Chains A and B, each alone.
Chain A
Amino acid sequence: MGAPAPDLHASQAELIRSAREGDKEAFYSLVHQCERAVYVAAIAILNNRADAEEVAQEAVLKAFANLAQFRGEAKFSTWLIQITINEARVRLRKDRRHLYESVDEHQTDEEGEHFPKDFADWREVPSEALQREELRQALKHAIARLGPKYREVLILRDVQQLSTEETAQVLGISEGNVKARLLRARLQMRDALAPGIDGSWSTGKAEYQKVRPW
């Protein structure tokens, strides 16, 4: 066995201190620890891989330029995710493509209740089925159809596994809103996927045929 694992918090505090004193390598190490989180945060807002990569790079450069403002009250990763989300939103405002992005959003006001569309029985997903291309495609399609504010929360909570509190912080919304949007996002995803997965239920509508993974 190799050397004992270093104390992550202690070493991170050390890296932050060095980075703030101008040690670039220390900053690279910090970024390396959360580069996936930065990418996921960018794609949560932008829903586009190429844009997400560019924004991730810009966000990290911005973080370096503003390192003196990082006070250590939040985790470094949360701070970096927040900068990334802000950068992604700036990009969205410049590029007005998103205005045409989701035709569904007007129907999904979080003040209203969301009722399940059906009660298709969707028991446990067998683990070998998780990898099926049809299911992954159906999943992507369903996520893309969510309104942006629901997709953001779903990705930050369920993909990035941020806590409700962190999600609220990085999106600048209340924890109650995070929970309400997450509920809506998960129920909509279930609506989109469950009927396709449950072979016993079908309305015959093209919509559901499209998402039927097998």
Chain B
Amino acid sequence: MKVIEISCLEVWREISNYLDDEVAPELRVRMEAHFKACAHCTAVLDGTKNVVKLVGDGIEYEPPEGFGQRLYSKLKEKINR
């Protein structure tokens, strides 16, 4: 079956949905065919994937030391008054 070609621009528009597995199967096939042939879009895909992985480990967003304890103390203080 012949895959209908897709432009780089269309690939970039959908690249985030593609990573989240939120594109229709037909579009996924077209995007995958495009990635095989286009080093630029593959570079954008790999980089975007790395961003999701890096941001996703959440190291920058760990609550500060003692956060839970202070929250609990505050609750007790205010709610029990």
Binding site for B on A (CB under 8 A): 24, 27-28, 31-32, 35-36, 39-40, 43, 49, 53, 56-57, 60-61, 64, 113-116, 119-125, 130, 135-136, 139-140, 143, 154-155, 158-159, 161, 164, 179, 182-183, 186-187, 189-190, 193-194, 197
| 16 extra A-B contacts, CB within 8 A, seeds A24-B75, A116-B40, A182-B16 | A24-B79, A27-B79, A31-B71, A32-B72, A36-B62, A61-B75, A64-B79, A159-B58, A159-B60, A161-B56, A179-B17, A183-B15, A187-B12, A189-B51, A190-B47, A193-B47
Report 7 cross-chain contacts, Cβ distance below 8 Å, ordered by A residue: A28-B75, A57-B74, A116-B12, A121-B39, A122-B50, A130-B53, A187-B15
Q: Whole-angstrom distance from the CB of B72 to the nearest CB of chain A?
A: 6
Binding site for A on B (CB under 8 A): 9, 12-13, 15-17, 19-20, 22, 39-40, 43-44, 46-48, 50-64, 67-68, 70-72, 74-75, 78-80
With beta carbons under 8 angstroms apart, the residue of A113, A130, A189 that contacts B57 is: A130
Q: State in angstroms the CA–CA spacing of A194 and B48 once bound together.
A: 9
Nearest CB on B from A151, distance (A): 10
Give Cα distance in the complex from A13 to B57, angstroms. 29
> B50 and A125: CB pair below 8 A?
yes
Are the C-beta atoms of B75 and A40 separated by less than 8 Å? Answer: no
Closest to A183 in B: B16
Residue of B nearest to A179 (CB): B17
Interchain CB contact under 8 A, B70 and A39: no
Contacts of A158 in B (CB 8 A): 52, 55-56
A161 to B52, CA, bound (A): 11
Known A-B contacts A155-B61, A194-B47; A119 and B17 likewise in contact (beta carbons under 8 Å): no
A31-B62 Cα distance, complex, nearest whole Å = 16
Is the pair A143, B47 in contact by a Cβ cutoff of 8 Å? no
Q: Which of A119, A159, A190 contacts B48 (CB 8 A)?
A: A190
A191 to chain B: closest residue by CB: B47
Taking A190-B44, A190-B47 as contacts, is the C-beta distance between A139 and B68 under 8 angstroms?
no
Complex alpha-carbon distance, A28 and B71, angstroms: 10
Task: Write the chain A residue with the least CB distance to B57.
Answer: A130
A159 close to B61 (CB less than 8 A) = yes
Task: Report whether B43 and A35 are in contact in the complex, using a CB–CB cutoff of 8 Å.
Answer: no
The complex places the Cα of A71 from the Cα of B67 at a distance, in Å, of 28
A193 CB contact (under 8 Å) in B51, B68, B70, B74 = B51
- Contact partner of A53 (CB less than 8 A), chosen from B17, B20, B62, B67, is B67
Give Cα A190 to B13, complex, Å: 14
B36 to chain A, nearest CB (A): 16
